[in-house]
Each structure stands twice: as C-alpha cells, then as structure tokens.
Amino acid sequence: MNQRELLPNQSDVLRFTFPADGKMVEALRTRFIDTLTNGGIPEEELVHWRLIFNEIIFNAIFHGAQSDPSKSVTVEWALMDGAIMLSAEDPGNGPSDEQLKNPQLPEDPTSESGRGLFILNDFADEIRSWRSNPGFRLEITKKYPGMGRILVMDDEMEKTLEELSSSYESLSFFNRLAENLIESGNLQEFIDGSLNEFLALRPNDRIFLQGSPKIPDNIRASLSNAPWFLDPEEADPALRTLGSLTREIMWENNEDLARQNLDHPGLRSTGSGCVFPILAGDIHFGALVVLRKPGSSTMRFRSLGTLRTLADLCGIACANAYLTTIRDQSQKDLRELEIAVGIQKALLPILPAPPSPKWELSIHQDSSLSIAGDYAIAKLDKDGNLVMAIIDVMGKGVSAALLASIFKTAFTLSVNSGSAAKILETINETLCEQLGNLTMFITCAIARVSKDGKSMEHASAGHCPTFYYDANDVRTFLDPSGPPIGIISDVSYQNDMIELQGGERFVFVTDGCYEWDRKEESQGWHKFVDFIDSQRKRPAQHLWEQLRGHIANYCGPVLEDDCTILTLDMLP
C-alpha cells in the first residue's frame, strides 16, 4: 500500500519542508498548536501534543538528518474525522525494527535520549513507519471520538483571524482596561465598557455577569439595573448554579455538561459556553458567563484567555467598589491591601526558574500588608538566553499590584527585544504610553545571561544596586544608569557587560530586604551589605531563610514592606 493512501485528502493536510535546523521547530510547533486550538482540542491535550511534536521533529532533525542544514525534513499534520495525524520524514534510516516494535525506556535514568519512541508509543493510538529511497517516515495518529473534520483555513483567512486575535489580546487592550480601572469611579460603567470592548472584537451570542448568592449587598445594588447583570435571587436555577461556581468550566455539548454535573434543562439549549468566576480575596462576586447558540463556532483558546483576564479585572473593580463603602477607614485600607496581596498571588505567581547546567537561579518573595508591588521573573528568550527581571512598584494596594501585572505582560512581550538595556527601554516606552499622566513608576533591574553561560548584560532603572561577586569573591555593585521606568519615554539605559567563567554570584533585591533596619539614611543598607557578604558561600535557600529570620527577630513576623530576592549562581 502506498503511504499516501493512508493520508486524508490533500486539502486537509498541512505540509512543511524545512532545513534540518532546530531553530525552525518553535515556529512550526506554534502553527501546529494553533491548528489544534482552532479545532477545539482542550488545553490539557495541547500540553501533551507540544511534547509529542518536539519528540517527533527533533528526532527527525538530530537522528535522521544529523542536524545538517543542507538536508531537509518534512512535517505534516491533519485534523480528520475523529482523529489527529502528525508525521515527519527525514533522510535517515530510522530506528531498528525491534525499537519500533518494542520501544523501551533507557536503562540509565539520567540519559538525555532514548525516550522518544516510548513516549510516542504510549501517547498515540496508531504508529506507522516506512523506509524508502528518500529516507524514513514516522506517522502517529490519536483518536478523538466525536471530533468532526476541520478544514484547514486558507492563508488569507488564517492571517485575518490571527491579526484579529493578536489585536484583541494585545498589550494595548489589556492596558487600556487596566488604566480605565484605575481611573474609573463607577463600577457599572467600567464593566459595561469592558464587556462592550470584548464583544466588539469577539462577538458572542450572550455575555453577562451572574451574581453569586454571596455577592455583597452594595455591589448587587450598584449593578442591579445593568442589562448584563443577573441577580442571584431572580436567575433561573441553572444560571444560579453558574454564579455559584468557583472554578473555570467550559462545554461544547450536552455530554460536557453531564460530565461536569451541570446537565440542567436551561443549559441544554445554549450550545457551547464557558464560565469564569469573579473573585477577589475571599469575596465571591459571581461569574462571567458566555453562552453560544447551537451551531455556533466553538470557543477559541485565545478567547478563553482573554475572558479569564476580563474576569480578573472585573474582580478587581468589584473589590474596589466594595472597599469604598466600608465606613471604618482603617478597616477599608487593611481590606484593600489584603486584596492587593491576593491579586499579586493570583496574577503574579513566582514561576519556576528555567533550569540549565550553566546556572542555578532562585527567587524568593514574601509580601507585607502595606505594599503589593514587588515581583521577579525569569524566562528563556527565543535563542535560549536567560532573561531575568526584578521590580519594585511605587505605591501600594490594588494599583501597585495591577501595575506589576502590566509589567509582567510587557516583559513577556519584550523578552526577545535584544540586550538587557534594549528590553528595559522597550518596556519603558510601553509603560509611558499606557500610563499617560498617571503618577506611577517602577524601579527595575534586568539581566540577560548568554545560553553558554559565558557572558551577562545588566541594566537598571533606578533600582537597588545589584550585588556581583566574581569567581575570586571580590564584590562590586552594578548601579542604575537611568531613572525608573514609566516616567520618561525617551531615555537610554546602559548595559553593564560582564564576562563569566563560572563561580560568580549575583544577588538582586528590593528595598524591603534592608530598609526595615534603617535608623539613619544609610544605616540599613550598610548592615545589609555585611549580611549578604557573610552569606557568599551559602546556598540561596539558606540566605533567604537567614534573612527572613533576621527581619522577624527585629520587627516580628509581619513585614513592613514587600521583600523579594533573586539569586543567580554561575556554575563552574
């Protein structure tokens, strides 16, 4: 049988031939995942498909083509009736018949290779392979009962939809709503404008806010006459159930509803839908609900991400409105700050550091109840360089937490901009444009370590000096070269260039790590420098535990300010 007889019609197949270069994989994987997303594949399955795509393509590049860019690799995929097909062709001979027939895990658990076929075999429902004069082809198929055939969009349509998604999910949209939230004094007006902005870009059959049975009375009163608000006491039982949910859900058909114990008569006729709880701290205001009629196109993954952000912003707005009615000012301030810390934990989690045999990186943070604007993040850029940032937002409460979340978005979009100084300048331009005349700013230090661990670039905008210990334990400071970001758009920052040989340590901190001990203007800093010097050879975890214990002994268990520390050790 000809191998092509096993493929779906050519119009349903996406095929790409490219040089055997690993740098090509990320763009192809993104397009592959976009195809699955547009086909309605759930997010939990997309996680598995990302791994499978990497395995099958990198095997073809490294083993089949020996990473020779003069040779070509071809990848194909298709969404068929009830199944997804993915294949790769390379100029090699492929694994042995025994390996294909009976794939095993490597005997050495630390081995960096040998798991690919085992992973593919464990995941796929069918695996086929062919050897021919051009080389070797491996094809996997996974079945999804009930999934219909999804025709591949033509290039013009795909480009149009991609541009629409990008424009909707752009930083300017998020920041526009965030700025409106900071400035708005009317809860109903803010939510009404936000829902209209969403509908203008992603029309749906119906979007509304279903109040929770525990919604505070003042919030219920302020939203009671809005056409998109459903009072929990007046809604039908099915919608009342959605307003009570504290977890995200979505459904495409009645079977999905039954599986999630939501098979109510009032929902069976809605087609698809999704629900995002509106929470702030321990207050449950309700849920953002989108319902679609039967026959409408299914929910898109990008739309779900945007709705999740919209629900978060609605929660912040409801929390702000709730706080304004608390009569006791001290209680109001405390409640706002508690919510700010909750926002920080929800929207700004400290993510795991990217691992590498070249470095060890750790981030530790503890929040006070007075300021919620510290944050640290580390990511790999498209070339595998480590990019890290630590910030301290001017101000406190909800506004500080929100501005920190805007920085996180801007950092993610700017991480591939170039040098550390260029990344800092790009983020600064974005913040200045979005903040306008708002009197808010961020101090920030950014560093970029080369993939091979041989060099570092460092740039700082009004932030605390960065500790730098060279391999001989000589300590110097990397100082800021410009003002905080978010104030002046046309400003240049300087790159500190450092050649690395292994054994260096860098310590990035926020002022909450030392200002608690300030009796004179510089007293706290000098003591803190001595303390960090004394911990030069100790692990980062020990340094953090000693610092927190030191602060607790001095001023008790409750911090007066946020305390964040990022430690980078270059390995020999």
Q: How far apart are CA 474 and CA 503, in angstroms?
A: 11
Residue 477: C-alpha distances to residues 496, 540, 566 (Å): 11, 19, 15
pLDDT at residue 438 above 80?
Answer: no
User: How many CA atoms lie within 13 Å of 453's alpha carbon, on the beta-carbon side?
Assistant: 17
Arithmetic mean of pLDDT, 128-142: 86
Q: How far apart are CA 193 and CA 204, in angstroms?
A: 16
Instruction: Quickly list DSSP for 314-356.
Output: HHHHHHHHHHHT-SSHHHHHHHHHHHHHHHHHHHS--PPPPPB
Quick: pLDDT tens for 287-313.
998 887 665 554 444 466 677 778 888
Q: What is the pLDDT of residue 240?
A: 79
Tell me, yes or no, if the pTM score tops 0.85: no
Q: How confident is the model at residue 323 (pLDDT cuts 50, 70, 90)?
A: confident
Q: How confident is the model at residue 488 (pLDDT cuts 50, 70, 90)?
A: confident
**370 or 53, higher pLDDT:** 53
Q: What is the pLDDT of residue 305?
A: 65
Q: How far apart are CA 230 and CA 220, in angstroms?
A: 9
Arithmetic mean of pLDDT, 202-218: 82
Do 411 and 431 meet the contact criterion of CB atoms below 8 Å apart? no
Q: How confident is the model at residue 160 (pLDDT cuts 50, 70, 90)?
A: very low
Report the percentage of the chain scoring pLDDT > 90: 28
Q: How far apart are CA 68 and CA 459, in angstroms?
A: 37
Tokens, residue 421: 């100084």
pLDDT at residue 342 above 80?
Answer: no
Residue 98: C-alpha distances to residues 94, 103, 282, 370 (Å): 11, 8, 57, 64
pLDDT at residue 459 above 70?
Answer: yes
Instruction: List, in sequence order, every beta strand (DSSP E) within 184-321.
Output: 206-211, 229-230, 249-251, 273-280, 283-291
- Domains of the chain plus CATH, in order, are 3-152 (3.30.565.10), 156-325 (3.30.450.40), 347-570 (3.60.40.10)
The helix or strand, by DSSP H or E, that contains position 97, with its residue range, turns out to be helix 97-101
Arithmetic mean of pLDDT, 360-371: 75
Quick: pLDDT tens for 42-52.
888 888 899 89
pLDDT at residue 437 above 70?
Answer: no
pLDDT at residue 170 above 70?
Answer: no
Q: How far apart are CA 414 and CA 425, in angstroms?
A: 9
Q: Where are the alpha helices (DSSP H) in 39-83?
A: 43-59
Which range has the top average pLDDT, 223-237, 328-342, 345-359, 527-541?
527-541
Q: Which of 204-208, 225-229, 388-392, 529-533 has the lowest mean pLDDT?
A: 204-208
Task: Name which of 97, 94, 278 is nearest 194 in CA terms.
Answer: 278
Task: Name which of 196, 188, 180, 184 is nearest 223 in CA terms.
Answer: 188
Q: Is 97 exposed, middle or buried (0-12, 13-18, 19+ CB in 10 A)?
A: exposed
Task: Name which of 421, 423, 447, 564 is nearest 504 in CA terms.
Answer: 447
Q: How far apart are CA 408 and CA 393, in angstroms?
A: 12
**160 or 119, higher pLDDT:** 119
Q: What is the pLDDT of residue 567?
A: 96
Q: How far apart are CA 207 and CA 62, in angstroms?
A: 49
Q: How far apart are CA 233 and CA 243, in angstroms?
A: 11
Q: How confident is the model at residue 103 (pLDDT cuts 50, 70, 90)?
A: confident
Report the percentage of the chain scoring pLDDT > 70: 76
